[in-house]
Amino acid sequence: MSLTQTLDTRSARDGSARPEAARPSTSRRRRPRAIPAAVLGLGFPTFLVVLWWAAARAGLLPEQILPAPQAILETFLGLVGDGTLATHLKISTERVLIGFGIGAVGGLAFGAAAGLSPTFRAFFYPPVQAVARVNVLAWMPLLTLFMGIDEPLKYVVIAWSAAIPVILGTARGIEAVSPAFRELGQALQFDTRDTLRLIVLPGAVPSIFAGLREGLANAWQTLVLAELFASFEGLGYLMTWGRQLFQLDLVIVAMIVVAIAGLAMDLLLRAVERRAQPWKKGTADVH
Domain extent for 104: 68-281
Record the pTM.
0.75
202-251 residue pLDDT tens: 888 889 999 999 999 999 988 888 887 777 888 888 888 888 888 888 99
Predicted pLDDT at 4:
44
219, part of any domain: yes
273, part of any domain: yes
Predicted pLDDT at 257:
92
How far is it, in rounded angstroms, from Cα 113 to Cα 101?
A: 18
Domain count, the chain: 1
3-state helix/strand/coil string of 191-221: CHHHHHHHHHHHHHHHHHHHHHHHHHHHHHH
99, part of any domain: yes
61, part of any domain: no
pLDDT higher than threshold 60 for residue 42: yes
Which of 31-35, 71-75, 176-180, 186-190 ranks highest by mean pLDDT?
71-75
Q: Model confidence at 5, in pLDDT bands (50, 70, 90)?
A: very low
272, part of any domain: yes
CA distances from 197 to 30, 88, 192, 203 (A): 42, 41, 9, 10
Angle at 95 between CA 90 and CA 99, to 5 degrees: 150
224, part of any domain: yes
104, part of any domain: yes
150, part of any domain: yes
Please indicate whether residue 193 or residue 174 has the higher confidence score (pLDDT): 174
CATH of the domain at 111: 1.10.3720.10
Q: Model confidence at 286, in pLDDT bands (50, 70, 90)?
A: very low
Residue 189 has what DSSP assignment? T
